[in-house]
Structure 1
Amino acid sequence: MRAAGVREVGGRVELLDLPEPDGPGPDEVVLAVEAAGVGNWDDIVRTGAWHVGLTPPMALGVEVAGTVIAVGSDVTNLRVGDEVVGHPLQLQHQGCWAERVVVDAGLVVPKPRGVSWETAAAFPVPALTAEQVLAEALKVAENETLLVHGAGSTTGGLVVQLAALRGVRVIATAGPSSAVRVTQAGAAEVVDYHDAGWPDRVRELTGGVGVDAAVNAVSGGSADAILALREGGRMATITGDPPAAERGISVADVYVRPDAAQLAELCALLSGGRLTLSVGAVLPLADAATALERAISGANGGPVVLQVAPGRTGD
């Protein structure tokens, strides 16, 4: 089957001809992949820094949208023809940048109605990350003030939306080109991160006290974000660069994990229009290397997606 991935750890991304999956185990399903998300996290897998259950040669990709084509003997909640999405780690046979993938049936949920395959494929990892940051790492509450540093990114934008739905006052950092979009996502104030003194500006917006909690979604940005926090505040970073704790501030280094219950709730919000996600670029499987480069650069104004089954958009 056609796939895109690497022949060795750290190798270049290329088209691969990989064996078809043998079939699902008792608790698994086989998906015909319609679309697969692409993120900077896929480069972490490529280089071997994130182990997702596979060894090369292997397809990359850890988020998927597709149609069930085979069901394991113990699976009762899915049937052939169901349309699903997921972040199905650990991977059972190959990554999601492939025509077919075997996944744990407990790690996929129904594809949100009215949402394209491409949007559905780009949603699981950033949405789960945002939810886990807010609900678990920071435990944000209504009427608290939250800084989202890097709100123009896909994950940062979803953090803003989910926080606003919780009744949280969001102060966001973003560049001028993203400011309107971030405001529409629910930020009460947007500060230009190009201004070296932006943490002071955030503190001014809170009467000099600082925000109750902060999320850092900018690589290398945690050291600045912590400056905007009040004494005894809470901080979470999703970029693997937690700052040293200071002034009684708690610091969490958050890595996304699969959670079907959370994902189902998030998909309901997406289907109902309470969350939005605009895809920045859709490329064919043959252009996976370019897709990954674009995802790493973050210059697309939205997530990057591989269209694995061409010619369908779905809803």
Structure 2
Amino acid sequence: MRAAGVREIGGLVEVFDLPEPDDPGPGEVVIEVETAGVGNWDNIVRTGAWNVGLTPPMALGVEAAGTVVAVGSQVTNLQRGDEVLGHPLPLRHQGCWAERVVVDAGLVVLKPAGVSWETAAAFPVPALTAEQVLSESLKLAENETLLVHGAGSTTGGLIVQLAALRGARVIATAGPSSANRVAQAGAAEVLDYHDDRWPERVRELTSGIGADAALNAVPGGSTATIVTVREGGRMATITGDPPAAERDIRVTNVYVRPDATQLAQLCALLGEGQLTLAVGSVLPLADAATALEDAISGAKGGPVVLQVGPRLTGN
């Protein structure tokens, strides 16, 4: 089968042939991949800094959407023909940039009707990250004020949407090109992160007290973000660079983990239109190296997706 990945840790992304997956184990399913998400996290896997359970030669990719084509003997929640999506770590056979993958049946959920394959593939990692930031790390409550630094990013935008749905007041930073989108997502105030005074503006907007909680989604942005948090507040970062705690602020460094229960709840919101996700670009599997470069640079203004299977019409 065709796949895109690396022949050695740190190697260039290539398209090559890999063996077909084995029959699924008792708790597994085989998915024929239609689309696969691409993120900067895939480069972390490529360089060996994130162990997802595989050794080269291996397909990259940790999120996918596709159709169940084989079901293990103990699987009761899925059947052949189901359209699913997920973040199925640890990977069992190959990464998601492959025509077929074997996954733990408990780590994928049904794709909502009406949601495109492209959106389905790009959704799991940023959506789960957003949920785990808000419900676990920050424990955000209704009527609290949340600062989202980097709200123009895919994950930052979903955090804005989820926080607004939960009744929080959201103050966000974004660039001019994404400011309107962030405001439509539910941010009460959107500040231009190019303005060096934006942390002071957050303080002004909170009557000098600071935000109850803050999320940093900008590499290198944690030090500026913590300035905006009130004494005894909470801060999370998803960029791996937590600042030193100060003023009794609880700081959390968040790494996403698979959670099918959370993902199913998030997919329900997506299917109902309460959450939205606009894909930046869709590239064929043959262009996986370019797709990863685009995801790292963020130049496409939204998540990047690989079209792995034959392009389907409709959903």
Whether these two folds match at TM > 0.5 is yes
Q: 2:88 aligned with 1:104, yes or no?
A: no
**Corresponding residue of 2:248:** 248
Are the equivalent residues in 2 in contact too, given 1:281–1:302 (CA < 8 A)?
A: yes
Q: 2:213 aligned with 1:201, yes or no?
A: no
Moved over 4 A (4+): none
Q: CA deviation at 1:123?
A: 0.1
CA distance in 2, matches of 1:270, 1:11: 36
Q: Give secondary structure in 1 for the equivalent of 2:266.
A: helix
Q: Give secondary structure in 2 for the equivalent of 1:287.
A: helix
CA distance in 1, matches of 2:99, 2:58: 13
Are the equivalent residues in 2 in contact too, given 1:278–1:302 (CA < 8 A)?
A: yes
The amino acid across from 1:55 in the alignment is T
CA distance in 2, matches of 1:70, 1:271: 25
CA distance in 1, matches of 2:244, 2:310: 47
Structure 1: which 5+ residue stretches go unaligned? none
CA distance in 1, matches of 2:313, 2:27: 29
- Show CA shifts across 1:177-221 (max 9, x none): 000000000000000000111100111111111000000000111
State the TM-score, normalizing by the size of structure 2: 0.99
Are the equivalent residues in 2 in contact too, given 1:115–1:314 (CA < 8 A)?
A: no
Q: CA deviation at 1:299?
A: 1.5
Are the equivalent residues in 2 in contact too, given 1:215–1:235 (CA < 8 A)?
A: yes
Q: CA deviation at 1:23?
A: 1.2
Q: 1:99 to 1:314 in 2, by over 3 A?
A: farther
Q: How does 1:1-315 map to 2 (within 5 A)?
A: 1-315=1-315
Q: CA deviation at 1:76?
A: 1.0
Q: CA deviation at 1:77?
A: 1.1
Q: Give secondary structure in 1 for the equivalent of 2:214.
A: strand
CA distance in 2, matches of 1:47, 1:25: 29
- Show CA shifts across 1:117-170 (max 9, x none): 010000000000000000000000000000000000000000000000000000
Structure 2: which 5+ residue stretches go unaligned? none
The amino acid across from 1:276 in the alignment is T
Q: CA deviation at 1:66?
A: 0.5
The amino acid across from 2:195 in the alignment is D
Q: CA deviation at 1:314?
A: 4.4
CA distance in 2, matches of 1:92, 1:22: 10
The amino acid across from 1:112 in the alignment is P
> How large is the RMSD of aligned CA atoms in angstroms?
0.6
CA distance in 2, matches of 1:256, 1:57: 25
CA distance in 2, matches of 1:83, 1:299: 30
Q: Give secondary structure in 1 for the equivalent of 2:172.
A: strand
Q: 1:45 to 1:313 in 2, by over 3 A?
A: farther
CA distance in 2, matches of 1:14, 1:158: 31
Q: Give secondary structure in 1 for the equivalent of 2:56.
A: coil
CA distance in 1, matches of 2:93, 2:124: 20
Are the equivalent residues in 2 in contact too, given 1:117–1:314 (CA < 8 A)?
A: no
Q: CA deviation at 1:16?
A: 1.5
State the TM-score, normalizing by the size of structure 1: 0.99
The amino acid across from 1:211 in the alignment is A
CA distance in 1, matches of 2:20, 2:69: 13
CA distance in 2, matches of 1:63, 1:256: 12
Q: CA deviation at 1:310?
A: 2.6
CA distance in 2, matches of 1:219, 1:7: 29
CA distance in 2, matches of 1:276, 1:28: 30
Q: CA deviation at 1:279?
A: 0.3
CA distance in 1, matches of 2:245, 2:92: 38
Are the equivalent residues in 2 in contact too, given 1:118–1:313 (CA < 8 A)?
A: no
CA distance in 1, matches of 2:259, 2:300: 27
CA distance in 1, matches of 2:77, 2:212: 41
Number of residue pairs the alignment of both structures matches: 315
